[in-house]
Structure 1
Amino acid sequence: MEKLVYALILAARKLRPYFQAHRIEVRTAYPLQHILHKPESSGRMLKWAVELGQFNLEYCPRTIIKGQALANFILEFDAEVDDKAIVVAKPSSQGNSHDGKREGLPHPWRILHVDGAVNNNGSGAGIVLVTPEGHRLMSAIHFKFYVTNNDAEYEALINGLKLALEVGAVNLIVQSDSELVANQVNGGFQAQGPRTELYMRCAPCLLKKVKSAKLESVPQEENSNADALAKMGSQMDSVQLGQIPLGFQEIPSIPELKVFQM
């Protein structure tokens, strides 16, 4: 199964300009879409899922085709790759949703997915901003300073809000799978220390700069792209990230706490 996914990755890299400009039908007898989007995906499969997530792929049952002709076309195609392209042409099902949570919001609107990750390799943040046209702007950040799990979630939120403000977001829905951060920012939970209190002050200040903004807590499976980017950012895996930029953050987004010894 991995060989099939890797073949698709090679085709996408070889024909990247074409993949970026068109909806691509992937005809296969195997459940690739289900495998690539499983919440428990990890390792190479997770990295490939993120890379393929940049494109508008539609998985269909396999029919009889002249596979050799398609393979020859891929091998002969020698187009240049646009290194600056980081968008996808079609929004996900989340981006198209107009459920009760979004009623009353004037257009255009954007949806911001953020997530933080801390593991043995380091820490990082993943950001996915869905534009009104359905394009996705993706970014991964590696933190060069110590953070806790909650700190990483706050850093992801703050960096995501800064990105949304840079592109001129007017109406914004922010989605994070950290229930604690969402409730703290929304006023449901109290701060659990001076550092958290600083983050709680910083995030709402950025939210207030957007005309209409709402922070939601969502299940992890609904935030899978941001989660995958955060894990790759923590590992500084710039090779597997492909066209998605990897940034490095030297210092926290909040002022440094001063410790006085008595």
Structure 2
Amino acid sequence: MELINLEAHKIRRATRLDFHATNNDAEYEALITGLKLALEMKVENLNVFSDSMIMVYQINGVYQAMGSRTELYLKCAQRIIARFNEVRLELIPRGQNEGAGELAKLGSCHEATLLGVVPLDIQRQPSVPEHEVGNLSGNLGPTWMTPILAYIKEGSLPDEKNDAKE
């Protein structure tokens, strides 16, 4: 992750994710880390450039987040973005994002001497909960899942031949 102010001063930071993360998770983690750093530096207006089309389009409302973990990342990023006066997230071609590629390599590097003056943070847990489970109370009655659960738990099939076949 790289922050550049109006005078072209750069702050670079690499983060190694010490947990299972998809490429999209890693993109969101980098965004969240950068947003938090910008807040610490009292930045009020921010332009974010990323080569992750999925993340940029999700943040900008063009794509819908699919999957509960991606939705959690999107909501987390949106909560942080709301703390700024203005944040613009723009998609750039991967070729124009060479600095991010270099930092990604550093984040996966095990040789501390190769990092030079770029700080390396080890992030042991995701910025969002691993699982978000709703609390269900009371009897909700039969749903489309009831026969499936009965089959899994008890091995019983519905009496109707077509229902059992499903």
Which amino acid in 2 is paired with 1:146? Answer: H
Q: Report the Cα offset of residue 258 of structure 1.
A: 4.8
Q: 1:157 aligns with which of 24, 28, 31?
A: 31
Post-superposition CA distance 1:141-189 (Å, at most 9, x none): 0011000011000101100101111111111100110001000111111
User: For structure 1, which runs of at least 5 residues remain unmatched after alignment?
Assistant: 1-126
What are the within-5 Å matches in structure 2 for residues 158-237 of structure 1?
A: 158-237=32-111
Say whether the 8 Å CA contact 1:236–1:246 is kept in structure 2: no
Whether 2:12 is the aligned partner of 1:138: answer yes
Say whether the 8 Å CA contact 1:142–1:236 is kept in structure 2: no
Q: Give 1:249's aligned residue.
A: 123
What are the within-5 Å matches in structure 2 for residues 55-74 of structure 1?
A: none
Post-superposition CA distance 1:2-30 (Å, at most 9, x none): xxxxxxxxxxxxxxxxxxxxxxxxxxxxx
- Secondary structure of 2:47's counterpart equals strand
Q: Report the Cα offset of residue 235 of structure 1.
A: 2.2
- Secondary structure of 1:201's counterpart equals helix
Distance across 2 between alignment mates of 1:220 and 1:145:
25
Say whether the 8 Å CA contact 1:129–1:137 is kept in structure 2: yes
Which amino acid in 1 is paired with 2:131? Answer: L
Q: Report the Cα offset of residue 190 of structure 1.
A: 0.9
Distance across 2 between alignment mates of 1:214 and 1:178:
14
By relative contact order (CA 8 Å, sep 6+), the higher-ranking structure is 2
Distance across 2 between alignment mates of 1:204 and 1:224:
26
Percent identity over the alignment is 46
What are the within-5 Å matches in structure 2 for residues 83-162 of structure 1?
A: 127-162=1-36
Q: Report the Cα offset of residue 255 of structure 1.
A: 1.5
Equivalenced residue count is 135
Which amino acid in 2 is paired with 1:170? Answer: E
User: For structure 2, which runs of at least 5 residues remain unmatched after alignment?
Assistant: 135-148, 150-166
Rg: which structure is higher? 2
Which amino acid in 1 is paired with 2:29? Answer: E
Query: TM-score, normalising length from structure 2?
Result: 0.77
Over the aligned positions, Cα root-mean-square deviation in angstroms equals 1.5
Which amino acid in 2 is paired with 1:154? Answer: Y
Which amino acid in 2 is paired with 1:136? Answer: K
